[in-house]
Amino acid sequence: MKIIMLGAPGAGKGTQAIKIAEKYGIPHVSTGDIFRANIKNNTPLGAEAKKYMDEGKLVPDELTVRILLDRVAKDDCKNGYVLDGFPRTIVQADVLKEELTKLGEKIDYAINVDVPDENIVRRMSGRRSCLNCGATYHIEHIPPKKEGICDQCGSPLTQRDDDKEETVKNRLKVYHEQTQPLIDYYEKEGALKNVDGTKPMEEVFADIIAILG
Ligand code: AP5
Ligand code: MG
Ligand code: ZN
């Protein structure tokens, strides 16, 4: 099963993708997580990506596509995957479609987690992330058991550099200009499914499971 998560920054793509990956036994592939891991490890790719991420801009398509195609070519992606944060532009969606077509494959579901802009800024300011294992929390809605510590792996939780209010506003603008058109794109492909992302996390997940079966 090949799944794409669509939705604005902070809509809950990552939160749901992790749960989907666990339930269906497929890898969770997040381009944002890959870039952040590279920044943490001071790689050249990380340095390049950081320039764009800190301003809320998209990392150039060429670089992002290469990273993503390398990742999904790995063995663990043979039975499918859930893509979180990719594609984010029509160019990226076209490349993915081309590559899959070559293999006689396609995206089965594009799940659009729908959350209006008003809710987004509040969610982002309360987000805390684990850079070690990728788990995400919210200080009000989804708090860790012990403040500032990851439930999964015990590492300290941090606030993402791009979760500052000004950067979030930029990310939303970029989302509306470049990524939102993908909703129509996957509608035409017959893969689009909308879920209401303003519901509590477990309800959103139940709605997604009802779609995936
Ligand atoms: P990326 O890491 O993908 O960030 P994003 O799309 O901005 O999305 P977020 O991770 O911020 O939000 P999310 O939807 O995953 O929400 P989450 O589950 O955490 O990308 C970062 C940057 O990398 C980009 O800006 C760009 O520069 C670059 N990049 C990445 N991919 C790229 C690409 N393909 N092309 C070019 N550049 C790329 O939830 C948010 C918060 O809400 C959390 O605190 C969570 O606990 C809480 N929450 C979740 N669900 C609920 C709920 N139902 N109710 C209440 N709270 C909830
Ligand atoms: Mg995310
Ligand atoms: Zn962790």
Q: What is the dihedral of CA 193, 12, 49, 159, to 10 degrees?
A: 180
Specify the amino acid at residue 45. Answer: L
pLDDT number for residue 121:
86
Pocket lining for ligand 1, CB < 6 angstroms:
7, 9-15, 31-32, 35, 52-53, 56-59, 64, 85-86, 88, 92, 123, 126-127, 136-138, 141-142, 162, 171, 200-201, 204
Q: What percent of the chain has pLDDT over 70?
A: 100
pLDDT number for residue 164:
85
The domain locations on the chain are 2-115+176-212
Q: How confident is the model at residue 53 (pLDDT cuts 50, 70, 90)?
A: very high
Mean pLDDT of all residues in 53-60: 96
Tell me the CATH class for 2-115+176-212: alpha beta
pLDDT in tens, 136-183: 999 999 999 999 999 999 999 999 889 988 899 999 999 999 999 999
pLDDT in tens, 129-138: 998 888 999 9
Q: How confident is the model at residue 100 (pLDDT cuts 50, 70, 90)?
A: very high
pLDDT number for residue 165:
86
Q: What is the pTM of this model?
A: 0.94
pLDDT number for residue 122:
85
Distances, alpha carbon 60 to alpha carbons 51, 52, 81, 87, 91, in Å: 11, 8, 23, 12, 10
* Residue 201 Cα: closest atom of ligand 1: 53
